A and B are shown apart, each in its own frame.
Chain A
Amino acid sequence: MLSQWTRHLNHALWLTTVSNAALVHREEFHEDLVLRPLPDGRVSSKFTFTTLLRDATPRNPESLAVEDDSQHYTLFPLALGQVLREYAITEMHLTLNAGKWNYDRWGYPDEPGVGSGAELWAWMGDGGPATVDYRWQGLRNALAGLFCASLGSLDELRTTSPTLAFEPEGTLPNWTQPHQLRHASLPSEHVCTENLTPFLKLLPCKSLSGVASLLNPHRLFDADWHGMGVHVSYDREDGVKVRLTFQTVFDPVRTSLNNRRDWSFASLFDRKVEQLCPVAETSRVRLALPEVQSYLLAPEYTIQDNYALFDMAASSQAFQVSMDWPQEPKFQYRTSSNYDDASIVPLSVQRTLRGSSQARGELSVTVTNHEAVEIQSVYLETMPWLLQFYLHTLRISHNGESRGDLISNISYVPPVPHARPTTLQCIITIPPKSTIKLTIDVSKSFLRYTEHPPDAQRGWDLPPAVFVPFKTDHNRTLLGTTRYQRIYTPTLLADLATPDFSMPYNVIILSCTLITLIFGSLFNILTRKFVVVNMDPPREVAETQ
């Protein structure tokens, strides 16, 4: 009944779209929800809302000089479309995440961009009247306004171009000039409701119907991990695709009274799907089936590729999925060695900034290969100039002995103080079933007093490092072009030398005293005239005169 009505309306919309103008492209909207019970009792959910602009092409920057065609969309988010046309963006990825993705326990995320804080990267065609950097600046400012996030701070101090780790997701059009990558991340960005509201506004059904109605901010922002993403890509066959994603990791064990991992839409989102989104071409709810068979799933489902597929249209009431583990009185966590051995991901990475000094430290990265084959991986650091690497101290050791041969293809863009970040890209080789340790000495910069943030005593958040592992055979040639996903390390906090801004009075007194002492004595010596003084008693002097 519900579905019939939906299809009917969809058809009507499609007709109006076509009848409008020949320039207007066919639009499609798909929504998808993937649920995944995780080994540690948590549940990850990923909402994907895809809007496809069939046979459309991104704007060529060469055409920026002439006025753009007027844009008429029915489903495609106009606010975003305008930004993309204005700055001629071919491909763009914006993620706003909160939390630390635990690869060792949760495995790979469904959406690879899980670095803490904000991350924005875009592929843009070169040429035309406006430079790439000018358009990049425009893009981040426009997105900052659109998503209420401080993306404006992703300035040239944080912008890099690491092409090895951030390859385009779609295809790049064949224009005369090559495409360029701009990437920046802001780990200290907090994600909250003010970012979700504009995100929901981009959806054709908002959060009123369809799977989007599950996006309840009260629950989403209480999740252990949550992140939203806006992905725009171009594909020659399909056209321009906008993918809006929202990913969460809930912990039903934490919220349940007796430590059970049962969950349902009502317990996770405090909502059910009351009605379908009428304009959605497809609305899928899928659940990744765990290996253990002792669960109960409701409602009815069909199995496809180890996923349970639910038909939302089939239910006459409000739709919700629930999963129960009736044989488990209480959820039992795995023992810690189990987590170490289980190779959910090929690599696990630990990255720490050592040393308690505010002047220097040591960046230490430990990479463990869980697989029985050698793994090569791209290792990328995009560090603000606050932390400067001493590249000659880069050491890589395996089982306690130094192994310089495990690192290759180093490309390094040194930082420019107050202007440009460091980019360190290299390929590291991790022998099978072993751990390598990579250390590099760093020096921490001394900032101008105006460069300190208002919460100066907090320290500086440093962006995550990125690993992109790829499998090789013994001859170290690439096995095909398929790579693993990107792995983001946790972010870091660096303590730089900070004046005590809360007590300016003390600082002024101390510096004034020092300056007076130094200046006073120097001035005295410089201006003093040295003369010979006759120290005979004045009376005698008078007598001789």
Chain B
Amino acid sequence: MDKIKAKLRALVTPKPDATASRIRRRRAITAKIYAKLPWITTTLFAVGYAWMLCIPFSELENRIYIDENALQPGQVNTQWEWSDVHHADMYLRQLEILRDSNATSEQRADFLANEFNKLGIASSTQSYTFSTSSSTAAGTNAYAVLSSPRTSGNEAIVISASWLSRIDESSTSDPETINIRGVATVLALAKFLRGYSLWAKDLVFVISDGHLDGMHAWLSAYHGVSQSNMDADYLKLSSGVIWTALNIDYPGHSFSHLGVFFEGLNGRLPNQDLLNSLRVIANRAGVPVVTYDHISPPELPSSLPSFLRDNRDVKLYAENARSVLRHVGYEARGSGSGVHGLLHQFRIDAITIFAIPAAGPHGFHAIGRVIESTLRTANNLLERLHASFFFYIMTSSDTFLKIGAFLPSAVLVSVAMMFVGLGEWVRAGWVRGPDRVAEKAGSEVEWLKRRRPLMKPLGIVLGTHVFGAGVFGALNAFADHHSLLTPVVFLVSALPITLSFLNSAPKPPTNEIAQLSTLLKSLNLCLASTIISVTSVLNFSLALTLAILLGLPLSLASPSTSAAVKTAKYACYLALAFGWLLMDTEVKSALWNWEVLGVWVAPFVCVVYAPLVLQAGLVTIL
């Protein structure tokens, strides 16, 4: 009995050395992890980067579906007829006369407002001016509000067309192609839609001047947002809360496919149900829909062996990869892919329907029917679109990637960077003591703790970010003397390396104080990793780009003794940090986006990205 009691007591009362052994066990595990850290980080990096390459694989993608049951896309008989096409043609003729007579913005807007008015739709115009550091943009928007019968006018749908088409987006010269058929479509639609009493939401027609600037001015005035460099008229007419918006871009004579553009400013996306509805509706109407303007499959490099080039999977991969890259290109720049992108910041689900110019077979008849049916679908909504996805990548018009299929790639790289950074932190804090020879073989290595003074590396980190902010300020202030600014920035950022040569006696590592470069690298990596993780849910494409640009370069930064290696390394980092300064048009458009549209990518690159790379560069020379 006593024995049992003793045994029970022994079970209940902890052993005197239990805590100690637990701590020891924990230490052993941490030691093992630390010993295997290079393996872990390498694996994480490898998986992360491999995942990025896998994103276009068709195995990861899902087929689209309509999530919101209220939408009922394509369930209505469309009433848009050839007589409406005739009206559109009549409007087109008038617009062509207007275009050929080189009418000013105001004349155009007055004409458009008058046309809306003739239909009995209340209309007005709005003049605006944007002044940026390099240029000014001015224009006049025309808009009209069709108060739908029997409704309180609390919700609205916007049907818009910008005067200039998006078709010139990739060309370097100023855009000049006029979205003339898009504008004609909106006018004819206004005439047509007015004849029905079934609209449950107000219809707002906006013909914005310019490409993006006009719509931005109109939206800002509509939502009462003021901007220091914007001077926009007060809107005489108002309607309710805008829920959905369709932007029509139809620059050519006729079209073969409808292209969908959906990326918004600063990585915002519209609810996927809107895209899916359009796809379903156009499918029923017999109009093919593609993402962007990707009509033909991408051309594979001819160096590829023919069995690969003809392989179905490879073709599919290439096609998906092109869509993903296009998406990342728009989103990482933060500029969005068109006029619709401006609306997302006001919680409006918006897309651009782009009639891809071709010899045929579709025209006003097809686009009118598709838009009518899409509007009917949007009209069905009792609530905002909220059911479907807000985080997605469209690989084609009927397949997409869910967030779970792409988000881990960037996050894994960011985790790897965090591990490397924490490893550096440990390495900075502990140094291997002299081996205890007296003890038996296999005894534990003694680790000595050393001080990790943080003020200096923190100062450096802060300094680089302040320098980045300075560069950004200079970019804004001397936008016109951009060619002069670039060498100055490079010269200033090359200063540290010259200083390091002048003061060329690097302090030998001691057992008392941690090395500056190790501390700086640790801080740098932890900061970069956090930024990538946070950005990944705000703007995945930007996070992906950061993960590619920062991941390995920052982790591999290490000081070297040879002056030549040092210079070469520093030059590489410098190129990575400020190389974008040489891309003149990119810089200009990014700055314009920041000043006018409030896209934060330009300041982000200057104040966050470049300094991070610069810190890695400093690690190599310290």
Q: Which residues of A contact B386 (CB under 8 A)?
A: 457, 500, 502
Q: Which residues of B contact A155 (CB under 8 A)?
A: none
Q: Which residue of B lies closest to A462 (CB)?
A: B154
**Given contacts A492-B154, A495-B241, are A251 and B384 in contact (CB under 8 A)?**
no
- Chain B nearest CB from A158 CB (Å) reads 16
Per a CB cutoff under 8 Å, which of A40, A356, A531, A538 touches B223? A356
Question: A502-519: contact bitstring with B at CB < 8 Å (1 yes, 0 no)?
Answer: 100000000000000000
Per a CB cutoff under 8 Å, which of B117, B149, B241, B346 touches A224? B149
Per a CB cutoff under 8 Å, which of A116, A223, A364 touches B152? A116
Instruction: Check if A354 sits within 8 Å of B122, measured CB to CB.
Output: no
Q: Is A73 an interface residue (CB 8 A)?
A: no
Instruction: Check if B150 sits within 8 Å of A221, measured CB to CB.
Output: yes
Instruction: Check if A102 sits within 8 Å of B17, measured CB to CB.
Output: no
**Given contacts A251-B149, A493-B241, are A458 and B384 in contact (CB under 8 A)?**
yes
Interface-side segment among B18-26, B419-427, B560-568: B18-26
- Chain B nearest CB from A226 CB (Å) reads 7
Q: Is B363 an interface residue (CB 8 A)?
A: no
Instruction: Check if A461 sits within 8 Å of B154, measured CB to CB.
Output: yes
Q: Which residues of A contact B118 (CB under 8 A)?
A: 332-333
Q: Which residues of A contact B225 (CB under 8 A)?
A: 355-356
Question: B12-51: contact bitstring with A at CB < 8 Å (1 yes, 0 no)?
Answer: 0000010111011000000000000000000000000000
Complex CA distance for A452 and B386, rounded to whole angstroms: 16
Instruction: Check if B347 sits within 8 Å of A356, measured CB to CB.
Output: yes
Q: Which residues of A contact B162 (CB under 8 A)?
A: none
**Given contacts A455-B383, A533-B19, are A226 and B122 in contact (CB under 8 A)?**
no
Q: Is A352 an interface residue (CB 8 A)?
A: yes
Complex CA distance for A448 and B382, rounded to whole angstroms: 22
**Given contacts A100-B152, A457-B383, A491-B154, are A355 and B223 in contact (CB under 8 A)?**
yes
Q: Is B345 an interface residue (CB 8 A)?
A: yes
Q: Is A521 an interface residue (CB 8 A)?
A: no
Complex CA distance for A135 and B240, rounded to whole angstroms: 36
- Chain B nearest CB from A499 CB (Å) reads 11
Q: Is B153 an interface residue (CB 8 A)?
A: yes
How many residues of chain B have a CB within 8 Å of chain A?
40
Instruction: Check if A352 sits within 8 Å of B238, measured CB to CB.
Output: yes
Instruction: Check if A538 sits within 8 Å of B149, measured CB to CB.
Output: no
Complex CA distance for A492 and B152, rounded to whole angstroms: 8
Q: Is the interface of B mostly helix, strand, loop or mixed?
A: loop
Q: Which residues of B contact A253 (CB under 8 A)?
A: 120
Q: Which residues of B contact A502 (CB under 8 A)?
A: 386-387
Q: Is B434 an interface residue (CB 8 A)?
A: no
Q: Which residues of A contact B346 (CB under 8 A)?
A: 356
Instruction: Check if B117 sits within 8 Å of A117, measured CB to CB.
Output: no
Q: Which residues of A contact B383 (CB under 8 A)?
A: 455-458
Binding site for B on A (CB under 8 A): 40-41, 98-100, 102, 105, 116-117, 187, 221-226, 251, 253-254, 332-333, 335-336, 339, 350, 352, 354-356, 362, 364, 455-459, 461, 490-493, 495, 500, 502, 531, 533-535, 538, 541
Binding site for A on B (CB under 8 A): 17, 19-21, 23-24, 113-114, 117-120, 122-124, 147, 149-155, 194-195, 197, 223-225, 238, 240-241, 345-347, 382-384, 386-387
Question: Top 7 A-B pairs ranked by shortest CB distance?
Answer: A354-B224, A457-B383, A116-B152, A493-B154, A224-B149, A356-B346, A458-B383
A sample of 27 inter-chain contacts (CB < 8 A) reads A99-B151, A99-B152, A100-B152, A102-B147, A187-B152, A222-B149, A222-B150, A224-B197, A225-B150, A332-B118, A335-B114, A335-B117, A336-B117, A336-B123, A339-B122, A356-B223, A362-B224, A456-B383, A457-B384, A490-B154, A490-B240, A491-B154, A502-B387, A535-B20, A535-B24, A538-B17, A541-B17
